[in-house]
Amino acid sequence: MSEMFSKIIEQERSMEDVMFEELSTSTEKNIFYGTSASAKKYYKKFNDKGLQIDKVIVSQEYYKKNTFFYKNKVHESTFFLRGNTEKINLVIFFGIDEKSLNEIKKSDLIEKYYLIDGGVAALGYILHDYIYKYRDQYSKTYKSLSDKVSRQTMIGFLNTRIGGNASYINKYCVDEGYFPANLVEFGDDEVFIDCGAYDGDTLSAFIKAIGVHNKYKRIYALEPDPSNYDKLEKNCGNLKSVSLLKIGAYDESTTLSFANEATGASHIDQDGDISICVDRLDNIISSEERVTFIKMDLEGSELQALKGAKEIIKRCRPILAISVYHKKEDLIAIPEYLKKILPGYRFYLRALCYDSIDVTLFALPEIVE
């Protein structure tokens, strides 16, 4: 068995199954920490299993007075936890910071706590049998990674997706977005393409990362969701040398159905409620433009978008930051495709936020002397 597979857990009982079994015999109150889309899914699951949700809390930054999560009034987390005097079970639905998690671990009043990873809740599990079936392909990805952190991240990601236990991945997560300082270096005249620009959060991070001198030539930001595009225009419309494009990156020029979530989870969907225009980056970006960095977070359409940027990538050899977690085959198919068209590149994996499966593949061109 390969080095990689000696570190992959067998198909274990999911975190969800363990949680429901333990809570079914618990006499403590059940507290929801968070009101995300994952919390809404579990609200229904709790009701279906006849489990009581006794209180709902959110962190201070999300707290608003007199708001409700279904029938439950929402309370501010710090105030509630510090004032609580009885044992409770805590079900956490967001990427909690390490300091807060350590406080929860030390509390004598928290009988059980469960970290419900939003990514696993939304995307589902990857069965151990699937990973074993494609063990040769997974091993090729593993062997292509250029550092120990990347290999640890891949193992942690797969183990988390098998059972839903976020502790396998969260120890390797970093809070540096798409521009980790130990991987990404910037030069003058950067040309950055942001595919899936959302509300401009990555653009702001890019400008901050390159420093006070703003060493960029141009930014292209693609966002097909109309609601998100309005936010993008409001937040970034006044930036210098920025082209905002209400279009999606894909492998052809066409119109597609789209699930208009008005969030970072908006995505191409044959049952979507609106239609959007998509096109190849090779058609959108001038052949005269020397692209230096491409980021793609497209909720599952990354491979198609990469195929539509093949000529740019081969011509310019930019840094790539590509999400590889939306589909179970992404971690195999995306590195495999890039290796075919990008000889002389180094590959890294980074999990980009604490307690999350948001794993990004970084492809960096080797320096040719």
**Nearest residue to 7 via CA among 174, 167, 152, 173:** 152
Predicted confidence (pLDDT) per residue in 287-301, tens digit: 999 999 999 999 889
Which of 152-166, 189-203, 255-269 is predicted least confidently?
255-269
Look at phi and psi of residue 198 and say left if phi exceeds 0, alpha if psi is from -120 to 50, else beta: left
Determine the pLDDT at residue 262.
43
Determine the pLDDT at residue 212.
58
Helix (H, G, I), strand (E, B) or coil at 221: strand
Determine the pLDDT at residue 73.
96
Contact 337, 303 (CB under 8 A): yes
Determine the pLDDT at residue 51.
97
Residue listed under structure tokens 């597979």: 5
Q: How far apart are CA 137 and CA 336, in angstroms?
A: 9
- The dihedrals phi and psi of 137, each to the nearest 5 degrees, come to -70, -45
Predicted confidence (pLDDT) per residue in 159-189, tens digit: 988 888 777 888 888 878 899 988 998 988 9
Query: 283 pLDDT exceeds 50?
Result: yes
232 is written with which tokens?
A: 């993008």
Determine the pLDDT at residue 2.
73
Mean pLDDT over each residue of the chain, to the nearest integer: 88
Which of 12-16, 169-173, 274-278 is predicted least confidently?
12-16
Query: 265 pLDDT exceeds 60?
Result: no
Which of 117-121, 151-155, 363-367 is predicted least confidently?
117-121
Strand order in the sheet with 274-279: 248-249, 274-279, 254-259, 267-268
Query: 12 pLDDT exceeds 90?
Result: no
Q: Is the model more confident about 330 or about 105?
A: 330
* CA angle centred on 209, ends 205 and 214, rounded to 5°: 100
Q: How far apart are CA 289 and CA 120, in angstroms?
A: 38
* Residue 127 CB partners (closer than 8 Å, separation 6+): 11, 162
Could you tell me the CA-to-CA distances from 268 to 76, 101, 229, 304, 343 in Å, in that order?
A: 35, 35, 15, 11, 30
- The dihedrals phi and psi of 83, each to the nearest 5 degrees, come to -95, -5
pTM: 0.82
Q: Which domains does the chain have, with CATH numbers?
A: 15-123 (3.40.50), 173-323 (3.40.50.150)
The mean per-residue pLDDT over the stretch 195-222 comes to: 89
Query: 85 pLDDT exceeds 90?
Result: yes
176 is written with which tokens?
A: 């540096």
